[in-house]
Structure 1
Amino acid sequence: MLRDKFFQRRKHKSSVVSPQDGAPIVQPPVNKWLVTATILLASLIAMIDVSIVNVAIPQIQTSLGASIDEIGSIITFYIISTVIVMPLNGYLNALWGRKQFYTAVIILFTVSSLLCGLAWSFPVLVFFRILQGLGGGALVPSAQAILLETFPKEEHGKAMGIFGLVLLLGPTIGPVLGGYLTETVGWRSIFFINVPIGIIAAVMAFLFIVNPPYLNKPQGKFDWPGLIALIIGLSSLQYALEIGQRLNWFESKLIIILLVVGVVAIAYLVRRELVTRFPIIDLSVFGNLTFVSGTLIGALIGFALFGILFILPLFMSQILRYDSFQMGMTLVPGTVAMAAMMPLAGLLADRLDPRIPMGIGIALCSSATWQFSHLTAQSGYWDLVWPQIWRGLGLGLVFVPVSSATLGSISNEKKASASGLYNLIHQLGGSIGIAGLTIMLQRLQAFHLSNLTVSAQQKAAVASSDILQQQATALTYSNLFSYSALIFLVSYLPLLFLRVRRRVS
């Protein structure tokens, strides 16, 4: 009943004005490649910042006198702030206008980057990182919406293929660039480097981004209870997912409290947004079956991407005794394969039913992940690289078509809202995946160690605890890779409900 009232209210909503004080908006013709260049430049600095800070943590800790428990907060609170702003993307775009909002978040990200580099204490740095996260969290969903609006529908795959390269390239070059800058110039330079690029991107956004005529400024009282519930719910859930491993998950009362508060707040938020007259989050997009199906696949992609990138380095470190350089060289081929596949996947999505490359990609990714379950302490470099390559090709075939099909099914006036929610669930899928795999890692390792110990005692075998521990760990990772492959196979279920409107030639 709530859903019916919600959709009825949406259909009869008429008290709206344009973002520019009711003046009619005429969308001027803008070269799509100038818009694309603007989007890619702004998105690149946001994505680089996801990982560039990681390598500078020891220097920041020494310079600002932060403790081991405190230092992780510069990453944790950045992620939390990005997550909070994502679902507000559609409302803020409509409230301030596309050009004004997108230019403003680039300026916010740029200024906060400058302030991070000038931070004189650790609490001040954390505060400026929160501001930076608010800017970065709004950049990516807005960029997706703008690109899909700029390119014709028959080129949505191409647009998402280009955008996907930036999403992948940023976090990949971040650690390399951050390590170089930290060692040669100092940790503050990893923030200062955003400033000139951000200024150029802001100027380009002001010149080339336009206010589409279908974005109408929302009227009525601002939904403060909804905003408060959003902040409490998402920040509680994301913080629990970020620190859960350190506090042994459900053995910690704090984690349990955070999860309960997060779930209750999100439940209240959903109910309120369905009944309030002026919601801040447009949940009507979940009435679109294609959007729901694609978003579920996006969450599973987040799990497959971030979850495996979490446990595979642990396997290489604990079982194969790889150092950081060896792990990096092993992971690079998979990233290169995924990057190489994205433009091709975009073309295939434009020319074929996008469910075809997605179906092939799910099979490739799942089978490659399953191959990891056969790794042993005697496995060589190529035993790790080939599954990585196939997995990268598979993820590339899934990521681009699902983005274009999911967001392409939404009307232009709701694309910004849909993109924010899609990216939020993708992010949460990765965080939940890492959390779930961490819990399974701990439980399975204890289970296998107990079984091996009992077996050794029954056979009166003489086995050192180190050998038993290594065997238990190897069995644990084998199980984790097998379970991960099976979980990603679940993507075929929502794929069945993905509806794609074929273009008539």
Structure 2
Amino acid sequence: MSDMMAELPMEEGGVSYRDWCAIAGGLIGGFMAILDIQITNSSMKVIQGALSATLNDSSWLMTSYFTAEIIAIPLCGWLSKALGTGRYAIWCVGGFFCASLLCSTAWNLNSMIVFRALQGFCGGALIPISFRLIIEILPLEKRPIGMSLFSIIATFAPALGPALGGWLTENLSWHAIFYINFIPAVTSLGLIWYSMKHPKIDWKTLKNGDFIGIVSIMLCLGCLEVILEKGGDKNWFDSNMICVLALISGFTFLIFLYDQLASSNPLINVRLLKEYDFSYALVIFSMLGVAIYGTLFIVPYYLAMVHNYDASEIGNVVIWMGLPQLFILPFIPVLIRRFNIKYLICIGFLGLAVSAFMDCAMDSNFSGPQMAWSMFVRALGQPFIMVPLSLLATRNIQQEDSASSAVLINVFRSIGGLVARQH
């Protein structure tokens, strides 16, 4: 790993102090990015009013963020190699924080949409970077610890976002939900700067990038994002816009797939899909994205629109989807050593199924107190999925394919979340 950590005496297991600092820096950056995906949910009505926007218009705030995020994810491996993982992470963290400050100064809806898109583009790389560092740095026997930490940011941060955003909005202002990024941004920058090497920029890699693959996957995923976000509003394929975007997305996907198989220097190693465990895990990651992000999108929306909950009240309900996980996750590495990880994944999805069953009798009288219990049961199940599933996906992945595996996992997770928000 030419752009990884400086050499220091190793701890037992071959992981140095600087290695852990690098992982911590990446995880904090990823936590910040995932937190901001959901932090505006409980405050959307306040932001909508402040920017004089309609409910339909304000939905572009989410669309712009997710479109930019999903476009940025596939570029992570190429830019990390060219710029150096440490430098690229620092640029993304710095860019994310600057975009957050711009969001707080937005003067109308259009400016906020642009600034949220910048935030999403920078944040899109931070999640796969944090996942990649765990795969590259930690040996197999210590990887469950790293994956448990990643699980915290991937499943606890989305639940914490609405709660934190609601508290800040009610007690300070909606601007504070963007100022809060200062502490994690500075911490992440300091840890990454200290722990990782920063080699010279590899201009040759930048120049020889797979630009056909880059352009095609950006068009494919960008169009798919808009289709999934706006399809319901436009009555799906009754809309000429949706039809055109679907044609572009499908055509560019075929171009991308052919290019990745034919290119000597592909953007993403799609041949990883031949690995059964990896492909199996990707499908489940998309299902997990549906379960987590669909719930975290619809619950705040429902409570605000039907029961007129304020930001703080919404946060007090959604936090129950995250808080119990903190008490379970420390035991997951121990359980992984004792039991088949596929059984643990099944237990986790059983918890999600029970949670969904608890809500199946939901009507207009179903509000926060009732929903909190189903959120609690869901939180008990989620830790049994994320960590074992991450290990299942990456146990046969070689170091040179860590970037591609991180990209594919996060793309599938994001697409699952996009699909869920339409149902």
How far apart in 1 are the matches of 2:378 and 2:170?
A: 33
Structure 2: state its 5+ residue gaps: 9-15
Q: Indicate whether 1:256 and 2:243 are aligned.
A: yes
TM-score (norm 1): 0.72
Matching residue of 1:173: 160
8 Å Cα contact 2:69-2:124 kept in structure 1: yes
Q: Which residue of 1 aligns with 2:227?
A: 240
Deviations 1:116-142 (A, max 9, x none): 334455433322322211111100110
Q: 1:89: which partner in 2?
A: 76
Segment drifting more, 89-98 vs 386-395: 386-395
| Structure 1 residue 383, shift from structure 2 partner | 6.3
Q: Which runs of 5+ in 1 are unaligned?
A: 1-17, 438-505
Residues 456-486 of structure 1 show CA distances to partners (whole Å, capped at 9, x for unaligned) of xxxxxxxxxxxxxxxxxxxxxxxxxxxxxxx
Match of 1:223 in 2: 210
Quick one: structure 1 residues 391 and 119, their matched pair in 2 at CA, closer, same or farther if it must change by over 3 Å?
A: closer
1:82 Cα deviation from its structure 2 partner = 0.7
Q: Which has the larger radius of gyration?
A: 1
Structure 1 residues 211, 346: closer, same or farther in 2, change over 3 A? farther
Give the Cα–Cα distance (whole angstroms) in 2 for the partners of residues 179 and 307 of structure 1: 19
1:94 touches 1:216 (CA, 8 Å); kept in 2? Answer: no
Of 270-279 and 368-377, deviating more is 368-377
Matched with 2:12 is none
- Alignment CA distance shift 1:381-1:115 (3 Å): closer
Q: Which residue of structure 1 aligns with residue 193 of structure 2?
A: 206
Tell me how far apart the structure 1 counterparts of residues 356 and 396 of structure 2 sit (CA, whole Å).
30
On the 8 A contact 1:299/1:428 being kept in 2, the answer is yes
Pick the aligned partner of 2:416 from 417, 429, 437.
429
SS at the partner of 1:410?
coil
The structure showing larger relative contact order (alpha-carbon pairs under 8 Å, at least 6 residues apart) is 2
TM-score norm. by structure 2 comes to 0.85
Identity %: 25
Per-residue deviation at 1:84?
A: 0.8
Q: Distance in 1 between matches of 2:217 and 2:51?
A: 32
Are 2:183 and 1:192 aligned? Answer: no
Residue of structure 1 equivalent to 2:402: 415
178-187 or 257-266, larger mean C-alpha shift? 178-187
**What is the CA-CA distance between 1:329 and the residue it aligns to?**
4.8
The residue type paired with residue 71 of structure 1 is S
Higher deviation after alignment, 190-199 or 144-153: 190-199
Match runs of 1:477-488 below 5 Å: none
**Aligned counterpart, 2:121:** 134
Question: Which residue of 293, 309, 313 corresponds with 2:280?
Answer: 293
Cα distance change of structure 1 residues 363 and 200 upon mapping to structure 2, 3 Å threshold: closer
Instruction: Provide the residue aligned with 1:276 in structure 2.
Output: 263
Q: 1:270 to 1:335 in 2, by over 3 A?
A: same
Q: Is residue 13 of structure 2 the alignment partner of residue 28 of structure 1?
A: no
Shift of 1:143: 0.4
- The reply to whether residue 117 of structure 1 matches residue 104 of structure 2 is yes
Question: 2 CA distance for matches of 1:97 and 1:158?
Answer: 25
Say if 1:286 and 1:292, in contact at 8 Å, map to a contact too: yes
Q: Quick check: 2:41–2:301 contact (8 Å CA) kept in 1?
A: no
The equivalent of 2:384 in structure 1 is 397
Count of paired positions: 412
Which sits farther off after the overlay, 323-332 or 190-199? 323-332
Partners of 2:54 and 2:296 lie apart in 1 by 27
- Structure 1 residue 292: Cα displacement: 0.7
What is the aligned partner in structure 1 of residue 13 from structure 2? none
The separation in 2 between residues aligned to 1:295 and 1:259, in whole angstroms, is 23
RMSD value, Cα: 3.3
User: Which is worse superposed, 30-39 or 52-61?
Assistant: 52-61
Shift of 1:384: 4.9
d(CA) in 2 for partners of 1:51 and 1:385? 18
